[in-house]
Amino acid sequence: MNASLPPAVRATALRKSFGSGDARAEVLRGLDLTLAPGAFEAVMGASGSGKSTLLHLLAGLLAPDSGRVEVGGTDVTAMSDAAATRFRRRHVGVVFQSFNLVETLDVAENVALPVRLDRGRPDAARLAALLARLGLAGKERRRPSELSGGERQRVAVARALFAQPDVVLADEPTGNLDISAARGICALLRELHAAERSAILLVTHDPVVAAAADRVHFLRDGVVAASFDTGHDPAAISARYLEFHR
């Protein structure tokens, strides 16, 4: 890790609420989080604790009420929507909890979309290898509606990884997968992390998946309430989680 590089992602004093009046919910209340270049970290927390909201803010898909988000030293919260979109395509890969695949495009076109929108030429060999790695070989020409939930999820993972982004933000990337496919995604993320030095921030409810990361952050009351090294030990993560959320 190069200490002279800016953090892959840095969130400072992030606040975000939804609704107004009695229905107002303060989801993030001054959250700070720093992901070093090439770090692999996970975020856990109760349902509704703001994990997806945090990822959307980090990805520049949602604007905070206050606070700032930097990606590789660039303040994305200060950018126009168009500039943020361009920046994201080049530097950030996102796996959404709801996949967000384009129904009118087939599998291969969905995966290559961020590269095409960036006016690049997709590398066909890399695309084929990535799809094969994710168990999607032979499904290149299918539309999302012709895939299972787990297959759609793997297409979303492929799309996030294809452009070799500096940062991968993944929201429950194994939520719809069987144990073996989930392990496959974890192995792929670790490999990507080792080979390409992409920084990864992974939201998950699954301690086995969180154990693929080196460090885990617990979200509670709108802030990162605890952070610790995983030791790649799911049982230790579970124990701390249960203790923390008692």
Ligand X SMILES: Nc1ncnc2c1ncn2[C@@H]1O[C@H](COP(=O)(O)OP(=O)(O)OP(=O)(O)O)[C@@H](O)[C@H]1O
* Residue 99 tokens, joined: 């996949």
Which x/- pattern, by CB under 5 A, does the window 63-102 give for Mg ion?
Answer: ----------------------------------x-----
Task: Establish if 25 lies at the interface with ligand X (CB under 6 A).
Answer: yes
Asked if 204 touches ligand X (CB under 6 A), the answer is: no
**Interhelix angle for 149-162 vs 179-196, to 10°?**
0
Q: Is the Cβ–Cβ distance between 16 and 77 less than 8 Å?
A: no
Q: Which does 198 bind (CB under 5 to 8 A by kind): Mg ion, ligand X, none?
A: none
Residue 51 lies near ligand X (rule: CB under 6 A): yes
Give the integer Cα–Cα distance in Å for 239 and 235.
6
Using rule CB under 5 A, residue 204 touches Mg ion: no
Q: Can residue 52 be called a binding residue for Mg ion (CB under 5 A)? A: yes
| From candidates 9, 33, 37, 49, binder to ligand X by CB under 6 A | 49
Q: Which residues pair with 10 in a beta bridge?
A: 34, 70
What strands, in cross-sheet order, belong to the sheet with 223-229?
A: 92-95, 167-171, 199-203, 40-44, 215-220, 223-229
The contact mask relative to ligand X for 180-199 (x = CB under 6 A, - = no) is --------------------
Question: What mask, x for binding ligand X by CB under 6 A, covers residues 52 to 91?
Answer: xx--------------------------------------
Pairing type for strands 40-44 and 66-71 reads unpaired
Q: State the residue for tokens 């299918």.
A: 142
What b/e sequence results for 163-182 when a residue is b if at least 16 CB atoms lie within 10 Å of its CB, and e otherwise?
bebbbbbbbbbbbbbeeebb
Residue that is written with structure tokens 């992030």 in the block: 14
Tell me, residue by residue from 96 to 125, as one string, x for binding to ligand X by CB under 6 A and - for no binding: -x----------------------------
Q: Which residues bind ligand X (CB under 6 A)?
A: 18-19, 25, 27, 45, 47-53, 97
